[in-house]
Amino acid sequence: MKKRAVLLTVLFALVVTLASVSAVFWEVYKLNKQHYISHIFAKHLIITQIYRQHKEDLTSQIMLEANLAVYKFVLEKDETRQETIIKNSKVLKAKDFKHVNASVKMTPKGFITQKVTTDLTVKMLEFNKKIYFYFTSPTRQVMILDEELKPYKYYSLAYSYLIIIFIISISFALILVRLRPLIRLRKKIARYGDGDMNISFATNSSDEIALISNELESTRMKINNILESRTLFLRNIMHELKTPIAKGTIATQMLDSQKQRDRFTSIFGRLEALVVEFALIEEVTSIGDKSEFCEYRMIDIIDGAIDMAMIDNTSICIEVDSSYKIDANYRLYTTAIKNMIDNGIKYSTDAKVKIWLNEENELCFDSLGECIAHPLQYYIEPFTKENPSKNSFGLGLYLVDSILKAHDKVLAHEYENGVNRFIFA
């Protein structure tokens, strides 16, 4: 989910925008329709006036129809059709009001004006794309068709809505197209992080993403040059060191004093061991990918580490399932286990190490002794050690930690019941 945060944000913005525009147009549609209905409903006043004039003057129905025809109103006289319309039509608007009918009447006291108030209901109906006005009173019902009026049409609003939706969709599509180089750039960066040092970030475009890509390409070339220079320097200096060490070892054997021979042999031996460890560190840090990793049985790697350490099997207790396998660089992983064995035997009180797998299939190294005096982070720094008098360069745990990181693991430590436990987690 996090890897596609930008894409999901853009899509979310698109959905929100479309929903907002749709909601606005829906409200505009309802408002326009209501305004249209209210506007045309005012025509009932004309019809009411004509109908009331007809009642007061007692004119014929032909005269009523003629007066209605002036405004293109048609009297619906078919009662069956009226019932059909009433039953199947859609009521657009209805209104109740009092209809006052005033007349002059002669009485013994003289002429008086008599007002008769009756309840009147007006409904505007839509049926078969036609508009009808239906008047009901206690004495009569009248239905009149307005030939001029048509139901509300939303076509122009719908066209506007579709055009805006189309423009918004095209805009977001263009945004996604412009983001595609960013997706490709992310994949290239991931490949570079996995060790493909020859991947190119260069591009011929001129937008902001292209500027970032070209800057990354420039940075990649600088990093590659630094790494090549570093590797060349380390390999050359180790090569140059081996020759004088070998000559010094040979010259040592020519000394007359056994004490001097032993002293210089120890010095040149330590120098040679230091060069070997530097070579291993250079190899670990220069691992570009995992193409050299293969599947091995853990028990075989442990046996190789024991042979490399050249120690008695009685100092090692192994409780590892022979069927358990891992993907690893055999030489490096063997070196890491060998260093842990050496470290455990060197600092334990009984010169023994137990190697076993916990429930998470993590390789554990147990040795009796006091808890380490400093946090583990202190010991995985180069050239640090618990006891300076020990015959060590302080690179053992640093090398182990570097090898484990190359295998996507970390070195952990815990102390329980007098046991120091180092874990390949």
Distance CA 115, CA 118 (A): 10
Average pLDDT over residues 109-121: 58
CA gap 146, 43 in Å, rounded = 9
- In 194-296, alpha helices (H): 208-252, 258-285
Quick one: what percent of the chain has pLDDT higher than 90? 2
242 in Cβ contact with 274 (< 8 Å):
no
Q: Work out the pLDDT band at 106, boundaries 50, 70, 90.
A: low
Q: Measuring CA to CA, which residue among 149, 141, 126 is closest to residue 39?
A: 149
pLDDT digits (tens, 9 = 90+) for 43-82: 667 777 777 677 666 677 778 778 777 777 888 878 888 8
343-392 pLDDT tens trace: 888 888 888 899 999 888 899 999 998 888 888 888 777 666 555 445 55
The predicted model gives 162-177 an average pLDDT of 86
Cβ count within 10 A of residue 402:
21
Confidence of residue 210 (pLDDT cuts 50, 70, 90): confident
- CB-based contact 131:151 (threshold 8 Å): yes
Which alpha helices (H) appear in 310-395, and where do they start and end? 330-347, 376-379
pLDDT at residue 24 tops 80: yes
Q: Tell me the pLDDT band of 398, cut-offs 50, 70 and 90.
A: confident
**DSSP characters over 180-196:** HHHHHHHHHHHHHHTT-
Q: Return d(Cα 329, Cα 220) in angstroms, integer.
A: 26
Cβ neighbour number for residue 235 with a 10 Å cutoff: 13
Identify the pLDDT of residue 71: 74
Q: Give the separation between CA 61 and CA 7, rounded to whole angstroms.
A: 72
Tokens representing residue 186 in the block? 């992310």
C-alpha span between 303 and 277 (Å, rounded): 21
